[in-house]
Structure 1
Amino acid sequence: MEQFKTLEIVQKTPSSRVFHLYLNRPSHGNALSPDFFSEFPRALAALDQNPDVNLIVLSGAGKHFCTGIDLSSLGSVNSHSGDRGRSGEKLRRHIKFLQDSVTAVERCRKPVIAAVHGGCIGGGVDILTACDIRFCTEDAFFSVKEVDLAITADLGTLQRLPAIVGYGNAMELALTGRRFSGSEAKEMGLVSKIFSSKGEMDKEVGLLAEGIAAKSPLAVTGTKAVLQRSRDLSLELGLDYVATWNSAMLVSDDLTEAVSAHTQKRKPVFAKL
């Protein structure tokens, strides 16, 4: 498997279909460097294509989940010269590239669970909002920080956060850039559950991840795909989409195995995807 400068992929137990993806620049608070934006989509694509992977847990090495974009990488953004139109077009392409790196979480067919401890700031929130399930520790803290750097957040938070926490909450968090706690994140629905310690979170998220990873991979990847697509469709079109999806995927060995296992009162065993 490819070695990364900013990430680490770990399979904690040999037979597990749960793989862990760590943001791995602990001495920099896992700040997002230029290398991260090229490595992150490659790592997710590799996990997506690996038939041994059914689910990915994303977390941060060291004290924080992610302290935002590496400020040293912002210097080059401000050094434009020459034709304003051409430099603007170049910057737009660069922003689209960075956006695409974060959207790689949604493009990955396998569910991605975020387990947050410490700081989750700026670009960390962009990544968090793209994840499928989100958890944190009691001492985690969050901030949609871009406004304090004279930037309009542009990597997905302003597009994804309103659907998660509500429009009013998203507007307030984005305009103030204020720090908010794990308990407030839970109250707003940004995370599903908070844990008293990182150890407890790692244990409980591990059990939940193994539970999902043991389910039919066709059903799990289909559920992620249909839920994502339905966000952008009317109810009627969403229902039509899932009918078309299931007309292709429903009749499978997984369905036969699930029914047999239920009848025989045993755990189902599904083939790799």
Structure 2
Amino acid sequence: MDSSETTKAQSNDKQFYQNVIVMRHGDRADNFEPLWVSTAARPWDPHIVEEGRVRAFCTGRRLRANLGFPIDRVFVSPFLRCIQTAYEVVSALCSVDDDPTVMSSDAVVSLDPSKVKVSIEYGLCEMLNREAIRHNMAPKDGDFGFVTSELEALLPPGTVDSSVKQVYDQLPQWEETVAGARERYAQVIKALADKYPFENLLLVTHGEGVGVSVSAFLKDVTVYEVDYCAYTELRRPISGDNESFTAGDFEVLTNPVQSGISYLPASATNAGDNE
């Protein structure tokens, strides 16, 4: 039984648990190659370095081996570092072979693209403000130059589902507030989950988005660090069918610290602010 048949069978049960993995991209080039920015045509959109590709592929292989459920759909931010991370993760998820010595998609001989469907989601993009993108690095005309069809061509062949209607069909306005960006991430996580209530999702996004996936569902905590390719695992109960369903609240299923997400109780950070 393939993943789609498994999901369909589960959706006919009285209750189904939907799982949503929210993951940060791999190691970005401008943090490892200081001179890259000086010659880059798109300094706001760094690629991932080789270590990031390996980390992303190995994370995808670990998800495949350890989650205990299939990933049905992947949604990815339009930034190149997320697209390249998704390429590696999806390649690991769709690999026909499971050779533990394989460390990146370069060595994958064969893929089964029917296992996972991938779509671009602009609502998962980086925070569009100076907190995340230095002002002198942002495009002066405000055009970040993302073309959906070109981004889709960078994903594993046969996996793209371009028929999906995006939650955000364009980028937010430049200089969105941090609070506004956090609200956006929380909204998009829930909106994507509600669109596919009987499917398990992987969202490839940025550090702030992963942080929100913890702080929005673990009350009274503040996330202060998210490692490359760190992820959180959310789960909620679903009852009904695709025409009419009822969803419970998301819970954070695993300890985020174990996957590279560091946080403190909000009271601790507030106390620090008052010192």
Bigger helix fraction: 1
* Structure with greater contact order relative to length (CA < 8 Å, sep ≥ 6): 2
Q: What TM-score, normalized by structure 2, do the two folds share?
A: 0.31
Q: What TM-score, normalized by structure 1, do the two folds share?
A: 0.31
